[in-house]
A and B are shown apart, each in its own frame.
Chain A
Amino acid sequence: MNKLMKRIGALALSTVVWMGAAITTCAKDDNYTYNYDWWGDVQDSPDFYTVTGVYTSVELELDKKMNTPSGMCVKDNLVYVCDTGNNRILVFERNDKGELKLKREFDRFQGDVEVNTFSAPTDIAVSDEGDIYIADGGNARILKLDKNLNYQMQFIKPVENTITEETIFLPNKIDIDTTGRVYCVATGINKGIIKYEADGSFSGFVGANKVSFNWTDYIFKKFATQEQRDRMESFVPTEYDNIYMDYEGFIYACKGNQTQEALEEDGAAAVRRLNLLGNDILVQNGEWGVYGDLYMGEGGGYEGPSSFIDVTGLENDVYFCLDKKRGRIFSYDDQGNIMFVCGGGQSPMDGYFKSPIAIDHIGTDLLVLDMLDCSITTFTLTEFGSLVFKAMDQFDQGEYDASGATWEEVMKLNGNYDRAYIGIGRSLLRQEKYKEAMDYFELKYDAENYSKAFKQYRKQWVEEHIGLIVLVILALFLIPMGIGKVKAIKHEIDIADIFK
């Protein structure tokens, strides 16, 4: 008896251990990656991206340690970093093994200008030809150098009547388009993104932020004294924090440090996708706005909404926003649906950030620059992440069956992933399996797609049962009519004279 009990105990124990092992292989229990479902509830998720390396000055074999690096850009397999505190530019090459190696560093350039060095460079951009654009804030200019570091030209403070002479021109973030136009976000200039033509002339502002104010403040201001008014915040539009030119030539612009009210009123405020005219074309069909964390209350030493400091976009229109406040990466698809959230702050572990400042990508791999930690963290897709991307690509290319199958695999890895259910549903919808598609959409409350499927299903049903429907309608009319007729005849017989 005793033996039997022991055996059962051992069996139970081994089951527990085995199950524990199975769980750890499926998802980490530390909640590194999560997602928001339709209700806005946090759903733990297996990692979408995994850290492949954290490169500090030691790993990068730098003679002089990095000091508050604040700008990063990627061209092919080269990573350009602005080492702001040391007034130099670092260029790293990513080798075949995926490791970053120092390729070159420079803090001066040749050419016929007064100052041949940089002063607190904050951002960098590189063209297809290899021309390097540097936001040289301390010298109030944007430099254009060729690949051999010869001075080409500079973009200076725009001449515009709204910019006073006293205003110091501080280019902060820059990006360029394929024709060599330069877009710049400058500190203290809130009329929008400054746009220069390729010849260096200022051609206007793009995507100005609208002035936002609330009515109570407005009315209060009407009655306030001058002193009170001065103490209040003024109604000025805030400047963008960063811009990113995507592969199609649209500019992603992000703006951090926002209030919860501003974000919930106008979900587009945190990230915008600007077209050539400066209009916002960011699609926001997701259940939740594109503004990071939904829960903005105090917790874990943080308070308030996410503060986006940088954004980068892949060629499948998935884009990533970097939250400075909580050190998280938020990913959205082309419809504005949240794909995943990962990262965090206040932890020395890999994949957590102290003060992330820039994000960029090589292919589908991500790089994040940390200003305080002076490190570059590289990420690559996990099996889960690459399956999701594969399923999306297959759907875009019209391989609906294959896409559905891939989403099924995704669902096996993460049963709480809303996108997987909707992906399967959409592929079923394309395969004209409307009833099955409806079931999947209903599970994840996708009313739009459900309606699409249901409309077709209803049409199909009516077409199949048209005979029955006609019969029922006829019956509804004919039976009461028939009964009426019979009754009338009976009545006539009853009152007929011949039977009296």
Chain B
Amino acid sequence: MKALIKKDKLQHYLATLKFALYCITHPLDGFWDLTHEKRGSYAAANTILIITLIMRLVKLRYTSFIIQAVYWEEINMVLYMASVLFPLALFVIGNWALTTLFDGKGRLGQVYMATCYCFTPYPLLQLPLTIMSNFVTVDEAEFYSVISGLSLVWCAILIIAAMGQIHEYSAGKNILFMVASLFAMLVMVFILMLFFSMISQGIAYFISLGRELLFRL
């Protein structure tokens, strides 16, 4: 019985993962079904996100120097990963916080899941591109940059389509709220910076207070 459930779960996971391929080619249909028909899963979303992160590292390491020369001395792995995760977190929270006030039907988890599903074209296109980059000359590098740009554009279109579907927005409202989400991200960055600078000043105050005390005693 236990084994059966496990097998069932695995099959569900694989099915939801495979559904990503349907989503990227049929975004409107796919992202509707993703939440409304429960054809997506958090496990699959996390998998896609992790694959995307790994792909970023693979791309960094194995792309030919003709296309991308890496100054290894200044690469920070954690920051490099954060360059994907941080905007993702900002977008998901910002988008949900806004849309939930304006009739958005998507929940926080659903926004996260859909956004992760939208990353699918990135590893799919970048892996063959990275391999290809090692077999091109400078003149042929144009192809690389075009396809590479295409993978990002594809992701962006998917995100826009996905948000429209899970919030059940019309096209115009959807675009409006995408732009609004970007502003929300900026506002959040601003508040975070403010927060950190206040905190650090607060801590510095207590440290200097402590020092003063130590001198006096």
Contact = CB atoms under 8 A, between A and B. Distances in A.
B69 interface: yes
B137 interface: yes
B135 interface: yes
Given A447-B65, A450-B66, A39 B135 contact: no
Contacts of A447: 65-66, 138
B206 interface: no
Which has the most chain B C-beta neighbours within 10 Å: A448, A452, A454? A454
A32 B53 CA distance: 45
A87 B169 CA distance: 86
A445 B69 contact: yes
B66 A451 contact: yes
A455 interface: yes
Interface residues of B, number: 8
B190 interface: no
Contacts of B138: 447-448, 450-451
Contacts of A442: 65
A458 interface: yes
Interface residues of A, number: 12
A98 B77 CA distance: 57
Contacts of B66: 447, 450-451
Contacts of B137: 451-452, 454-455
B139 interface: yes
A218 B132 CA distance: 47
A454 B65 CA distance: 13
Contacts of B135: 458
Chain A interface helix/strand/loop/mixed = helix
Interface in B59-118: 65-66, 69, 71
Contacts, number: 20
Interface of A: 38-39, 442, 445, 447-448, 450-452, 454-455, 458
Contacts of A454: 137
B62 to A, nearest CB: 13
A451 B139 contact: yes
B9 to A, nearest CB: 33
Contacts of A445: 65, 69
14 contacts: A442-B65, A445-B65, A445-B69, A447-B65, A447-B66, A447-B138, A448-B138, A450-B138, A451-B66, A451-B138, A451-B139, A452-B137, A454-B137, A455-B137
A118 B135 CA distance: 67
Contacts of A452: 137
A445 B71 CA distance: 11
A153 to B, nearest CB: 55
Contacts of A450: 65-66, 138
B211 to A, nearest CB: 33
A450 B137 CA distance: 8
A452 B140 CA distance: 12
Nearest to A458: B135
A345 B71 CA distance: 32
A452 B71 CA distance: 24
A261 B69 CA distance: 25
Given A445-B65, A447-B138, A452-B137, 10 more contacts: A442-B65, A445-B69, A447-B65, A447-B66, A450-B65, A450-B66, A451-B66, A451-B138, A455-B137, A458-B135
Contacts of A451: 66, 137-139
A451 B135 CA distance: 10
Contacts of A458: 135
A452 B135 CA distance: 12
A39 B71 contact: yes
A445 B139 CA distance: 16
Nearest to B74: A39
B138 to A, nearest CB: 4
A366 B139 CA distance: 41
Nearest to B71: A39
A362 B71 CA distance: 41
Nearest to A447: B66
A406 to B, nearest CB: 26
Contacts of B65: 442, 445, 447, 450
A40 to B, nearest CB: 10
Nearest to A448: B138
Closest 7 pairs (CB-CB, A-B): A451-B137, A451-B138, A447-B66, A447-B138, A455-B137, A445-B69, A445-B65
Contacts of B139: 451
B13 to A, nearest CB: 30
Which has the most chain A C-beta neighbours within 10 Å: B69, B71, B138? B138
A455 B135 CA distance: 9
Interface in B134-150: 135, 137-139
Contacts of A39: 71
A459 to B, nearest CB: 11
A450 B65 CA distance: 10
